[in-house]
Amino acid sequence: MEIRQLKTFQTVAQLLSFNRAAQVLNYAQSTVSAQIKLLEQELGVSLFERLGKRITLTQEGQKLIRYARKMVDMEQETLTEMSRKEEPHGSISVRIPQTLSTYRLPDILQQFKTHYPKVSFNVSTCASYTLEQELKAGIIDVAFLLADSINALDLQSEVLAYEPLILVADPNHPLATKPKVTVQDLQGESILLPKHDCGYKMQFETMLSERQVKAATITELNSIEAVKQCVIRGIGITIIPQIAVAKEIAHNQLTPLAWTDDTIESAVLMIQHKDKWISPVLKTFMDISREVCK
């Protein structure tokens, strides 16, 4: 059993696709298939159920994920300890919402690079429904969410801060001059929401549902910037972290609504797998994240 086979297995397990795993690993698909086949032959078990072009993990495959992560982490720990005299290098894989990626991550990376200039990053937009699997498989080192909590037994989360959320509209919107805006005032409004900014979107939709408020339309867009530009053009209103619209409000492009219902805010969660080995490099990144976000 080789570490490279376990890394390949982790990637296939996370993506549930030999073809996509080959693209991520920069292998030929035949190489990925051969490594998995050798691993299965050595262990004497089937790791994947093959249903046409679809694959799923077998029970044995689900067990191997835990051991694969530990063995890959041990390899990294060994390399780190044995190369202390060399300048650390390697890569950190991060999942993070667009708002935090745009307005918090640059400060984190700027400080981090003064410590470890040779460490690279793989940063992707978060998707809360795949975080547990990706962290469990070891594909992600650390993740961030804008959410109050995450329910997953294998994950541990830490609240770094609370980001205020505000409702905004263009200055000519009827609600922009209303002295008090409640959730009932959103009845029949066109609401724009970011598809990839995670938990607070679901929190807001739940609030509308619980108060039986029905929007005229709810449009999900794939970027925070797209949401802002649409609101500026009067297409609808949005709820958004205050940090993301501070500049537009200062330039009178957007107007915060006089929200009088419950204060809306979202916790900034830093999340990792409970069994993840934290290397000195990753620990520095997490410590800087705590400092920047607090």
Find the domain containing 42 and state its range: 1-86
Specify the CATH number for the domain of residue 197.
Answer: 3.40.190.10
Is 136 part of any domain?
no
Overall domain count for the chain: 2
Mean pLDDT computed over 46-65: 86
**Angstrom distance (rounded) from CA 263 to CA 56:** 43
The pLDDT of residue 268: 94
Q: Mention every residue, 6+ apart, whose C-beta is less than 8 A from residue 196.
A: 97, 98, 125, 126, 127, 222, 223
Instruction: Please state, for a pLDDT cut of 70, what percent of the chain lies above it.
Output: 93
| Domain end position, chosen among 20, 55, 86 | 86
Residues 74, 166, single domain; the answer is no
Domain boundary among 48, 70, 86: 86
Query: Is 258's pLDDT higher than 60?
Result: yes
What's the pTM value of the predicted model, to 2 decimals?
A: 0.73
Closest by Cα among 188, 70, 191 to 138: 70
Nearest to 279 by CA among 90, 114, 139: 90
Give the residue, 172 or 131, on which the prediction is more confident.
Answer: 172
| pLDDT digits 0-9 by tens, 6-15 | 888 888 887 8
Residue 140 has phi, psi (to 5 degrees) of: -105, 135
Which of 86, 118, 139 finishes a domain? 86
Quick check: is 199 in a domain?
A: yes
pLDDT in tens, 213-234: 999 999 999 889 999 999 999 9
Cα–Cα distance, 203 to 43 (Å, whole number): 45
Q: Residue 229 has which token pair?
A: 């530009």
Residue 27 belongs to domain with CATH number:
1.10.10.10
Q: Examine the domain organization and report whether 173 and 81 are in the same domain.
A: no
